[in-house]
Amino acid sequence: MLTDGIEVFTTGLCRYQDDLSGQSSNNSKLFIEVKVGDLDFAVWAMVDTGAPYCIFEPEIPNELGYLFQPNNPTTLSTRFGPIIGTLHRIDLTLLANSGQSLVVSSTCLVPQALPSEWKGNFIGYVGCLQRFRFAVDPSNNTFHFGKHP
Amino acid sequence: MPELLTKSGNTAIKLMEIQTAPWSQDMSIFASPRIQYLTYPAPPERPAEFLTTLLGRDGVKPRKIAPPCDFAENNVSQLQAFEQSSIKSQNIALLREINQLLSEGELPKAYRLLGEAIISGMRLSEPLKRLQDILSNQSVVSCETTTPVRTDEAAWVKANWNAYKGKWVAVLGDEAIASGDTFKEVLATVKELRPTQPPIIHHIK
């Protein structure tokens, strides 16, 4: 666990994957393991400090009953073009390999559909990451997290 | 009179101020804040015609207008409809502004705007209440659950990326326990298998 002076800074850590594609790439990313709501499985989601919301492939939140609602649309501009979805509050559990996991009440955009180029799941900054402390250790591929005091 | 009317400021109130004594009582009621909506601007291009419509065809002798007090009492439903319409318009405008902020990822600003609306006494519509609820709860709770490091699962996905491209897979350890074209198909298999550890479900794209 990390400390900031005498104060505990983070209380859990997980090993992140920096690449999940079959093609060797120099663009390392941060894929961490999360549980969405109370589903009995985990998914990898990319930590994306440039994205405001968490976006999962729609099948995953749909399974929990979080659907796109045409009368509650929010449009988000992405590099793949605009995505129309509905905002929902969903509990995401950041699963720790060591220490404590963290259940974060997050703002997720449940899309109507995703562009064909879209790959994977994303954890956004304003809708999730800024709600807890986190730190990255690239030398060990570890992602540290903990509650704000 | 027509000259006076043209320069009257285009409101019924100002026109009526020039009426004689018998109207003065009505006018005090007419100017009541409760029924301000009765005073509305005349079309600037044709004020005289507008006033003729209000006063009657002769343009000089006003036709009998029922005291607005009676009008209000007898038309409570109309007043309520007007009030609801006004609230609806405010809500639509606020929702549009908030959606614009949310489209730009400006959650804190959107939340602040909603808070200001509530403080000002505005009655929020259902979509706005829903957004307020989504944006307000930001709880973070620690729990003792831990999970093994998923290095084997990641290695399997990378090794089988080409063979399973486009498929959904459920991976546990160094093997796929389910795969299929749809998420539902894979989830159904996982539920049947009841693995001891939760697998990772991944869409290979």
What is the rounded average pLDDT of the residues B90-108?
A: 90
Name which of B102, B147, B158 is nearest A33 (Cβ-Cβ). B147
Q: What angle do CA B127, B139, A63 make, to 5 degrees?
A: 60
Q: Which residue, among A55, A44, A53, has the nearest Cα to A18 in the 3D structure?
A: A44
Residue A75 sits at the chain B interface (C-beta within 8 Å): yes
Domain positions in chain A: 29-146
Domain positions in chain B: 2-74, 80-136, 151-203
- For residue B71, the model assigns a pLDDT of 57
Measured between alpha carbons, how far is A11 from A39 in angstroms, rounded to an integer? 24
The answer to whether B140 and A100 are in contact (CB under 8 A) is no
Tell me which of A62-76, A80-94, B3-17, B87-101 is least confident.
B3-17
Which residues fall within 8 angstroms of residue B70, CB to CB, at 6 or more apart? none
Please report residues of A whose CB lies closer than 8 A to that of B150: 15, 17, 33, 42, 44
Measured between alpha carbons, how far is B70 from B79 in angstroms, rounded to an integer? 12
Q: Quick one: closest CA in A to B104, which residue? A: A76
Cross-chain residue pair A89–B200, CB shorter than 8 Å: no
**What are the tens digits of pLDDT across the range A48-104?**
999 999 999 999 999 999 999 998 899 998 888 889 999 999 999 999 999 999 999
Which amino acid is located at A19 in the chain?
Answer: D
pLDDT of B152 higher than 80: yes
Q: Quick one: closest CA in B to A120, which residue? A: B203
Q: How far is B190 from chain A (nearest CA, A)?
A: 9
Measured between alpha carbons, how far is B154 from B2 in angstroms, rounded to an integer? 86
Q: How far is A128 from chain B (nearest CA, A)?
A: 8
- For residue B52, the model assigns a pLDDT of 46
- For residue B10, the model assigns a pLDDT of 46
H runs (alpha helix) in A2-124 = 59-63
Q: Quick one: closest CA in B to A106, which residue? A: B138
Superfamily designation of domain A29-146: Acid Proteases (2.40.70.10)
Indicate the SS3 state at residue B118. Answer: helix
Name which of A42, A103, A126 is nearest B141 (Cβ-Cβ). A103
User: What share of chain B in percent tops pLDDT 90?
Assistant: 43
Would you state the structure tokens that stand for residue B57, as one six-digit string?
């065809």
Q: How far is B178 from chain A (nearest CA, A)?
A: 12
Q: How far is A98 from chain B (nearest CA, A)?
A: 6
The reply to whether ipTM tops 0.90 is: yes
Which residues fall within 8 angstroms of residue B5, CB to CB, at 6 or more apart? B15, B47, B48, B51
Would you state the structure tokens that stand for residue B72, as one six-digit string?
């209000």
Cross-chain residue pair A101–B184, CB shorter than 8 Å: no
Q: How many beta carbons lie within 10 A of that of residue A126, not counting itself?
A: 18
- For residue B29, the model assigns a pLDDT of 45
Cross-chain residue pair A15–B149, CB shorter than 8 Å: yes
pLDDT of A7 higher than 80: yes
Would you state the structure tokens that stand for residue A64, as one six-digit string?
């929990």
Number of residues in chain A: 149
